[in-house]
Each structure stands twice: as structure tokens, then as C-alpha cells.
Amino acid sequence: MSGSGAPQLKVSAVGKKVFVVATSWHTHIMDGLKLGALRELEKAGAAVEVHEVPGAFELPLAAKWAFDQGADAVIALGVVIQGETPHFDYVCDSATSGLTQVQLQYGKPIGFGLLTVDTEAQALERAGLEGSKEDKGSEAVQAALHMLSLIS
């Protein structure tokens, strides 16, 4: 889900356990992503647990752990900003592929709130902060809860 034209999905999550796994890099951006996700989860009535992980590479294992703990859905939040080396490509690919594998393995939704951007300014535009154009934390929750309602 991205940018203009993104749907505003409203799904109840009452009685559902949702884990938010969030990276610890770029705290200002992450604060916005987490707040957006938590606001949306509160509106939906979900029982929520928030857990921090070191970085984006660790998100798939954290999602697997969350499902092992009984989560009905996971919201994976993070930000990876392009640097001068191919490290960006490896981390983004590993995190994305890993989250996809976990989602398919468990048959449960993962809200993909991992920003993979070229610049900090692009991340800020998507972080759901005051003045941001988008709220990817909120969108990740909406997508996961919509999928949860579909498969439940």
C-alpha cells in the first residue's frame, strides 16, 4: 500500500493478539511508525505487545518468535536508508524475503512497515510524524488486520 489512493481499511481486531516488532535504528522515524501503528491497533481493539529488535535483519526471526508466542498477526516496523555500500541491498532483501517466508510458513499476516528508502527525508515523509505525507505504521496495521479478517 503506498501513497495517494491508499485505502482506509477499518477492521475490528477485538480478541486478537498483535505483536509489533520494531527496529531500534533511526529512533525519530521509528517513533512515528510505532505511534501510527499503535493508534491504529488501539482503534481496532487489538491486544498489543511491542518488542524492539536491533535492526531490520532481525525482523523475520522476531516475527517467527511472535507467532510462536501466540500472536494472531505481526506488525514489522523498521527503516533502512541507502548508504554507500551494497549492505542496504542485502539487508532489505533478507528482511523482506524472511518476513514473506515466516508469513507463509505460519499462515498468519505480517504488516510490512519496513521503509526501504534512499534518504532520511524520504523516510520522514512516510513516518507518520507531524508534517509527513504518509503513515506507513498505520498502513501496515490496516493491511495485516484486513488479511487477518480474510483468513480467520
- CATH code assigned at 86: 3.40.50.960
- Note whether residue 136 is domain-resident: yes
Please, are residues 67 and 12 in contact by the beta-carbon 8 Å criterion? no
Predicted local confidence at residue 151, as pLDDT: 94
Predicted local confidence at residue 10, as pLDDT: 77
- Please choose, from the candidates 52, 55, 46, the residue with its C-alpha nearest in 3D space to the C-alpha of residue 66: 52
Predicted local confidence at residue 12, as pLDDT: 86
**For the chain, how many structural domains are there in total?**
1
Residue 115, domain extent? 71-141
Q: What single-letter DSSP state applies at residue 106?
A: H
Whole-angstrom distance, CA of residue 128 vs CA of residue 71: 25
User: In the numeric block, which cell numbers belong to residue 51?
Assistant: 518488542
- Note whether residue 117 is domain-resident: yes
- Note whether residue 18 is domain-resident: no
- Note whether residue 115 is domain-resident: yes
- Please choose, from the candidates 55, 150, 59, 65, the residue with its C-alpha nearest in 3D space to the C-alpha of residue 109: 150
- Note whether residue 25 is domain-resident: no
- The tens place of each residue's pLDDT in the chain, 152 residues long, gives 455 666 676 788 999 999 999 999 999 999 999 999 999 999 999 999 999 999 999 999 999 999 999 999 999 999 999 998 899 999 999 999 999 999 999 999 999 999 999 999 999 999 999 999 999 999 999 999 999 999 98
Q: Which positions are annotated as active-site residues?
A: 87
- Note whether residue 120 is domain-resident: yes
**pTM greater than the 0.85 cutoff:** yes
Beta strand pairing call for 17-23 and 73-81: parallel
Q: How far apart, in Å, are the Cα atoms of 89 and each of 62, 79, 103, 131?
A: 20, 13, 21, 28
Please, are residues 115 and 80 in contact by the beta-carbon 8 Å criterion? yes
Compute the residue count for the chain.
152
Predicted local confidence at residue 1, as pLDDT: 43
